[in-house]
Structure 1
Amino acid sequence: MPSGNVPEVGFLARDTARGLIGRVVDRQAGRVWLRPVGGGREWDVRQEDVEPVSVSEILRPFVAEANRRSWEGR
């Protein structure tokens, strides 16, 4: 992936090699460092194995939880 497609520091990205989503904390020498969204130990991944995460992907679990809660009271 060209470096222009790697999300900037602070944005969310997907590690396609591991199937994980994390926040970009650093980018150097063809590597990207990600930290789990809920906090925790960061990991590094090859730049080629990183892709941006869309807003809908970020919101999907929150919307699903809100929908589940709305159906519980019925």
Structure 2
Amino acid sequence: MGVAEEKGTVPVRGSFAVDARTGEVGEVMDVIEGTVWLRPPRGGCEWEVPGASARPATAGEVLSAKVAQANSGQRWGR
């Protein structure tokens, strides 16, 4: 069990998380054996993040990601 899992901070499927390595926000698609799979809010390829490098996104971070998506002219989730 990783440090993040022990502290109960591993994000859950359907929530939003931050890849602490890059600062990028993504929707949690799955958590498999301590690896968190994130997808960009506007869709695209998933990427994997070690559980210790993923943390739940704050409301402000999710809002910022949604605003950036809206400004891109793409629909949310596509």
Confirm or deny a common fold (TM above 0.5): yes
The number of residues matched between the two structures is 63
- Report what 1:2 is aligned to: 5
Which structure shows the higher helix fraction? 1
Task: State the shift of 1:58 in Å.
Answer: 2.0
Over the residues paired in the alignment, what is the CA RMSD in angstroms? 1.8
Percent of aligned pairs sharing the same letter: 38
- Report what 1:59 is aligned to: 63
Which runs of no fewer than 5 residues in structure 2 stay unpaired?
Answer: 71-78
- Report what 1:68 is aligned to: none
Larger Rg: 1
Q: TM-score, normalised by structure 2?
A: 0.71
Which runs of no fewer than 5 residues in structure 1 stay unpaired?
Answer: 66-74
4+ residue runs of structure 1 moved beyond 6 angstroms? none
